[in-house]
Chains A and B, each alone.
Chain A
Amino acid sequence: MEKPFILHMFTSEKNLSPFDVNMALDAGWISTIPYTNVEIGEVQALVQDTIFSRSPSGLKRTGIFIGGRSALTAVEMLRVAKQSMFAPFELCMLADPSGAFTTAAAMVALVESKLKKHHNTTLEGKSVLIMGGTGPVGQIAAVLSANAGARTRIVGRQLEKSRSVAETCNREFGGGKIHIEGDADANKPTLIQTADVVMATGAAGIQLLSAELIAAAPLLKVAADVNAVPPSGIAGLDPHHDGTPLAGSQSGAVSLGALAIGNVKYQTQHILLERMRNQLLDGGKPLFLGFEEAFAVAREYLKGR
């Protein structure tokens, strides 16, 4: 009998996300094992304990998922986990803390596709505002936008916090090659004058872009919002919007709502979980999947849709 698929799921929080557990089981993993309150210092021992009780052929049916809430912690855990492997005792891993990697990947890939479809352009050189952007989704959306060549700003309530988050993103996620800036909500009336893209990634139920600001945005092309709970983060935006003209825009902007983004996020996470389950059985090399890989998958998925 073939060995069952086991996914060892690590989180630095007190609980796993039931969302991720459902996703893993629906992607064909048979046993999903939770490890909670995991600290970075414990990752090496857990990984080595995982790899030494199944032969290399058994490890083809074994994976590690890294959840949690912090993008930085998850990226570090993924790095430590990868370094803890010994050939030929290797397996595939996926990090997606708070679903942030797949959510941000889906949003930025969709923004890109709407820019192409409605404005025949790309993210290269565009001015992107990530509003309510100091959380994990905002951080990764900013990094993916910056990686795609956009001039990116994380905008939050407190200037200091926005700046320090932007610096962390540049250093830890961009390898020093990107230059995201931090800015304050209070400066939105000025920032909106030159914005091509707005992504709202704030807490549910808080409006981040008002109708007045939309009307005052001469260059706005795409506005996206990951908040599915009314009121939406962007005035006039409905969670179902998927390239719908944004009400009140003087510049022909289109809107992207949480359900449109959520659908692509769901597909992206599903594909990643399936890919890591099949990769070694198909003779491939171990995969260490983070936000960059999630973005590549989201782009690929949108091309094929």
Chain B
Amino acid sequence: MEKRSILHMLDPMPHNSPFDINMAVDAGFDLIIPYNNVKLEEITGLVQDAIFSRGPTGVKRTAIFVGGRDIGIAMEIMEAAKKAMVPPFEVSIFADPSGAFTTAAALVACIEKQLQEKHGIGLEGCRSVVFGGTGPVGIATGVIASLNGADVTIVDHISIDNALEKATEYNHRCDASLKATFASSDADKARLISNADVVFCTAKAGIQVLSASILADARQLKVAGDVNAVPPLGIEGIRRSHFGAPLIHATGCNGAVGVGAFAVGDIKYQLQNKLLAEMLSTETPVYLDFRDAFQRARALLK
């Protein structure tokens, strides 16, 4: 009998995310084993315990998922896990802390598709602003866009220090070129979007970040995307199901369009399912992070 597939789910937080567990079961893993409150120094031990007990055929039916809420910690765990592998005793790993990698990958890929379809351009050189840019989804969004050639500024709603700190940290971790600022008033936001080509809204659920009057100050906005699915939504005029609908309040721009949370969520869901399933189908071990997530998201949208 073929060995059952096992997903070891490592999480630095007190609880694994039920969302990810449902996704893993639905992607075909037979057994889900949660590990919580996992510390970085425990990773080598846990990973080597996981790879050495099933033999070279068993490792193909074994994989590791890295969750948590912090993408920096997740990247460190992934790095430590990779180093702990002893080929041919090696298993696939997929990191998606807070769902941030798949959500950000889906968001950037959706925006890129709209840029191409509606404006005939790519991300390269696009002035991009990420509101809610210091949270997990915002950072991952900024990094993915930056690595794909966009000129990205991440925005904190209160603290310039936090924004600068996050930009420095993730530029270092990911070889990105994020800029950082803060915007607490409508005037700050209006100034930021006045010369933006792309706006990503990854702020907290239930908070409107850009109102119609702020949007009226945009001069060259092409695409705006919002991942907030809880009303009031992040960008006035973008509905959750919008996927390239005209951004009616950007009155100073030609042909600006919006992408809403359900459109992004649908791609995120398919993407997470695909990445989990990939760990079951692959012949050689894969290490999946936001880069792979973005590549697969692009393929999904083709």
B14, B16, B18, B31: the one within 8 Å of A53 (CB): B18
Task: Decide if A33 is an interface residue (CB 8 Å cutoff).
Answer: yes
Name A42's closest neighbour in chain B (CB-CB): B15
- Among A44-52, A113-121, A247-255, A258-266, which stretch is in contact with chain B? A44-52
> In the complex, are the beta carbons of A49 and B25 less than 8 A apart?
no
Interface residues of A in 112-156 (CB under 8 A from B): none
Q: Mark A262-286, 1 if CB is under 8 A from B, else 0.
A: 0000000000000000000000000
Which residue on chain A has the smallest CB distance to residue B269? A53
User: Residue A49 contacts which of B14, B17, B31, B34 (CB distance < 8 angstroms)?
Assistant: B17
Q: B19 near A50 (CB under 8 angstroms)?
A: yes
Q: How many whole Å from B29's CB to the nearest CB in chain A?
A: 9
B26 within 8 A of A: yes
Chain A positions within 8 Å of B19 at CB level: 49-50, 52-53
CB-defined contacts of B22 to chain A, threshold 8 Å? 6, 50, 53-54, 58, 62
Contact at A46–B15, with CB atoms within 8 Å? yes
Q: Which residue in chain B gives the minimum CB-CB distance to A39?
A: B14
Question: Bound state CA distance, A34 and B18, in angstroms?
Answer: 10
Residues of B within 8 A of A36 (CB): 36
A33 to B17, CA, bound (A): 11
Interface: B21 (CB within 8 A): yes
Asked if B18 and A33 make an inter-chain contact with CB atoms under 8 angstroms apart, the answer reads yes
A53 to B103, CA, bound (A): 13
A3 within 8 A of B: yes
Q: Are A31 and B16 in contact (CB under 8 A)?
A: no
Nearest chain B residue, comparing its CB with the CB of A33: B21
Please report the C-alpha to C-alpha distance between residue A30 and residue B20 in the assembled complex, in whole angstroms.
17
In angstroms, Cα B264 to Cα A249, docked, is 73
- Indicate if the CB atoms of A6 and B15 lie closer than 8 Å: no
Indicate if A35 sits at the interface (CB-CB under 8 A).
Answer: yes
Minimum distance in angstroms from B169 CB to a CB of chain A: 26
List of A residues within 8 angstroms of B15 by Cβ: 35, 38, 42, 46
Of chain A, the residue at the smallest CB distance from B36 is A36
Query: Within the assembled complex, what's the spacing in Å between the Cα atoms of A31 and B23?
Result: 12
Name the residue of chain A whose CB is nearest to the CB of B18.
Answer: A50
A31-B32, A34-B34 known; A8 and B25 CB under 8 Å? no
Chain A residues whose C-beta falls within 8 Å of the C-beta of B14 in the assembled complex: 37, 42
**Is A230 close to B, CB under 8 A?**
no
Min Cβ gap A87→B in Å is 16
Q: Which of A46, A49, A50, A52 has the most CB of B within 10 A?
A: A49
Answer whether residue A4 sits at the interface, using C-beta atoms and an 8 A cutoff. yes
Q: How far is the CA of A42 from the CA of B18 in the complex (A)?
A: 12
User: Assuming the A-B contacts A31-B32, A33-B32, A34-B34, are A3 and B25 also in contact, with contact meaning beta carbons closer than 8 angstroms in the complex?
Assistant: yes
Query: Please, which residues of chain B bring their CB within 8 A of the CB of A52?
Result: 19
How far does the alpha carbon of A52 sit from the alpha carbon of B212 in the complex, in Å?
30
On B, residues with C-beta under 8 Å from A are 14-23, 25-26, 31-32, 34, 36, 269
Pairs A–B under 8 Å by Cβ, sample size 26: A3-B26, A4-B25, A4-B26, A6-B21, A6-B22, A30-B25, A33-B16, A33-B32, A34-B34, A35-B15, A35-B16, A36-B36, A37-B14, A38-B15, A42-B14, A46-B15, A46-B18, A47-B18, A49-B17, A50-B18, A52-B19, A53-B19, A53-B20, A53-B22, A53-B269, A58-B22
Known pairs A6-B21, A8-B21, A49-B19; list 16 more (Cβ under 8 Å): A3-B26, A31-B25, A31-B32, A33-B16, A33-B18, A35-B34, A37-B14, A42-B14, A42-B15, A46-B18, A47-B18, A49-B18, A50-B18, A53-B18, A53-B23, A54-B22
Report the 8 A-B pairs with minimum CB-CB distance, sorted nearest first. Answer: A50-B18, A53-B19, A53-B22, A49-B19, A49-B18, A54-B22, A35-B15, A8-B18
